Amino acid sequence: MAPRSLRILMLNTEHGWRGGEHQVLLLLRGLAGAAEAVTVCQPGSALEQELARAGLPAHPLAMRGPLHPSAAWAIRRLVHSGAFDLVHAHTSHAHSLAALACLGGKVPLLVTRRVDFPLKRGWFSHWKYVSAVAHYAAVSDAVLRVLAAGGVDAARITTIHDGIDGARFPAGMVSGLRSEFAIPAGDIIIGITAQLTDHKDHRTLLDAFALIERARTDCWLLIVGRGELEQELKAKARDLGLRQVRFTGFRQDIANILNGLDIFTLCSHLEGLGSSIMDAMHCGLPVVGTRAGGIPELITDGSDGLLVGVRDAAGLAGAVLRLAGDPALRRRLGAQAQVTAMNRFSSERMVAAYLALFQRLAPLSRAAADLHDAP
């Protein structure tokens, strides 16, 4: 009898669509034919809709918080049904629910950790982060170090960088961004695609752009995304008297956005990796990033982008102005960024790394299941 495929239960608790959900979709697409995966997700969520479009199995389940009793019990029934070799949690709330569901069983729990926030303290957090998890996939070495500092054995952590979906960015695409926002030909368009939340640090970006506007009249800043700080940031832009900042809101046409930019930036003060930087690099954009979390693992300063200090408005403005004033430097950094992205951050590489990790983690639970199923 031929050995059966690995069977994996994926968990994601997000309603909306961010980089993490896109990575789940990329992983599931890449695993097709190599493993069998079912994804527990929120009913009506963006992920459920994308899975349906891709023809991938989903198990909709209302999950109201990290300790939702009925959700934890429903997941526990799936875990203990003998149908799965491995549980893979992709969000913090999914981690909590999966830890409860796997308690007392033989199915190992893998958690992808995407943020470089320090681990919480206390007995429950120690159990959740240290005791309940068989292994972590950290999206960067920076995240690995945070987990190790929180008490997780480094031998139980594997760094797997995110992957790029090259199909999202067709070659030769002509962007309509300049005409949409009435930006004159020849002016410099700087852009950021990120949720409007504290750790992305748009406040420092607006302070930096105030310095840029004083130095040049031909620079524009497009802030793409939504979040809890949207009104605060719009008010700050008004208070600073910024004339050439545009808040675009949430956009799905990321290829159109990136192909219309001249410079990309991500100015986070905390950042697990920065998958939006990877997309920008794939599109051949010169990137200005901060030395936060995993960002320096993406950008080599002066080779395929520029790095500046965290919360350094003057440094950020200086790097952007350097690129704005030097078209040859923009072309050189952008061309090398594209090479870096294609060589180091393909989705195929990411999927292969996860599949190898799944195959390392699953044997014990599979052996137990095969023994149980034997006549």
Rounded Cα distance, 341 and 345, in Å: 5
Is 330's pLDDT higher than 60?
yes
Is 48's pLDDT higher than 70?
yes
Residue 363: predicted pLDDT: 73
Long-range contacts (CB closer than 8 Å, 24 or more residues apart) made by 296-305: 297/140, 297/141, 297/142, 297/161, 297/273, 298/273, 298/274, 298/340, 298/345, 299/337, 300/340, 303/333, 303/336, 304/333, 304/336, 304/337, 304/339, 304/340, 305/277, 305/281, 305/333, 305/337
Grouping H, G, I as helix, E, B as strand and the rest as coil, residue 110 is strand
Domains, the chain, ordered by start: 6-163+347-373 (3.40.50.2000), 167-344 (3.40.50.2000)
Average pLDDT of the residues in 15-25: 92
Is 365's pLDDT higher than 70?
no
Centre a 10 Å sphere on the Cβ of residue 129 and count the other Cβ atoms it contains: 20
Rounded Cα distance, 156 and 152, in Å: 7
Which residue would you say has higher pLDDT here, 374 or 138? 138
The partner residues of 11 in beta bridges, in order of sequence, read 40, 89
The answer to whether 348 touches 30, Cβ cutoff 8 Å, is yes
Residue 4: predicted pLDDT: 66
The answer to whether 94 touches 112, Cβ cutoff 8 Å, is no
Band (369; pLDDT cuts 50, 70, 90): very low
* Residues in the chain, total: 375
Band (373; pLDDT cuts 50, 70, 90): very low
Residue 358: predicted pLDDT: 96
- Pair of tokens at residue 197: 């939340």
- Pair of tokens at residue 149: 């500092």
Grouping H, G, I as helix, E, B as strand and the rest as coil, residue 101 is helix
- 97's enclosing H/E stretch is helix 92-102
Residue 169: predicted pLDDT: 87
The answer to whether 120 touches 91, Cβ cutoff 8 Å, is no
Global pTM value: 0.89
Distance of CA 155 to the CA centre of its chain: 23
In this structure, of 85-89, 165-169, 307-311, the range with the lowest mean pLDDT score is: 165-169
Rounded Cα distance, 342 and 18, in Å: 22
**CA-closest candidate to residue 40, choices 64, 67, 17, 11:** 11
Which residue would you say has higher pLDDT here, 293 or 365? 293
The answer to whether 79 touches 107, Cβ cutoff 8 Å, is yes
Residue 172: predicted pLDDT: 77
Average pLDDT of the residues in 138-161: 97
- Pair of tokens at residue 373: 């199923």
Band (107; pLDDT cuts 50, 70, 90): very high
Average pLDDT of the residues in 335-347: 95
Burial grade of 232 (CB within 10 A; 0-12, 13-18, 19 or more): middle
Band (372; pLDDT cuts 50, 70, 90): very low
The answer to whether 272 touches 294, Cβ cutoff 8 Å, is yes
The answer to whether 212 touches 235, Cβ cutoff 8 Å, is no
Band (5; pLDDT cuts 50, 70, 90): confident
DSSP 218-261: SEEEEEE---TTHHHHHHHHHHTT-SSEEEEES-S-HHHHHHH-
Residue 84 gets the label, from left (phi > 0), alpha (psi -120 to 50) or beta, of beta
**CA-closest candidate to residue 13, choices 26, 1, 24:** 24
Band (370; pLDDT cuts 50, 70, 90): very low
The answer to whether 219 touches 324, Cβ cutoff 8 Å, is yes
Q: What percent of the chain has pLDDT over 70?
A: 96
- 203's enclosing H/E stretch is helix 202-215
Average pLDDT of the residues in 231-241: 98
In this structure, of 15-19, 159-163, 295-299, the range with the lowest mean pLDDT score is: 15-19
